[in-house]
Amino acid sequence: MSSLGVVLLGALAVIVGALIPVQAATNAAMSRVVGSVAITSIALFAIGFVVVAAWAIVIRVPLPSLETLRQVPAYGYFGGLIVASYVISITFLAPRLGVGNAICLVVTGQIVAAVTIDHIGAFGATVQRLTMGRVIGVVLMIIGVILARR
């Protein structure tokens, strides 16, 4: 991949990452008005479904066959559970802990899980061994998250 491609993908990742606390704050605001984390989450998933379905129609993605869907490893469907648990949890946590604290704790979990997945190559991920440099980087990121919480 070209250097420009890496920069553009990195910029996209930063932009999407910046939207996560926005999502936490807007989910919390909606939940306060609606009065229910569950109903808020259902509404958010309905909106998400409509947006993704419209996008798939616009770019004309063909539906996979049932045989193809049967070939997906069981853990491939786990993402749906993870997305649901994240939306429900952040909608619940953000108004109680504050958006910044909730996101900092979520990021800490992401850092630890990411290096673990990379180290063991879980779910077909490319193996990237946990070196001392990576350990130091993770510790520094976690320290940064802790300092940002204060």
Q: Domain range holding 101?
A: 14-149
Compute the average pLDDT of residues 37-59.
97
Residue 91: its H or E element: helix 78-97
Compute the average pLDDT of residues 70-93.
94
Q: Is residue 68 part of a domain?
A: yes
What pTM does this model have? 0.83
Q: Is residue 9 part of a domain?
A: no
Tell me how many domains the chain contains.
Answer: 1
So what's the pLDDT on residue 122? 94
Neighbours of 37 (CB within 10 A): 20
HSE on the CB side for 62, CA within 13 Å? 4
Report the length, in residues, of the chain: 150
Q: Is residue 8 part of a domain?
A: no
For the chain, the C-alpha Rg in angstroms (whole number) is 18
Q: Is residue 1 part of a domain?
A: no
Q: Is residue 129 part of a domain?
A: yes
pLDDT, mean over the chain: 93
Q: What percent of the chain has pLDDT over 90?
A: 83
Phi and psi torsions of 74, nearest 5°: -50, -40
Compute the average pLDDT of residues 121-146.
91
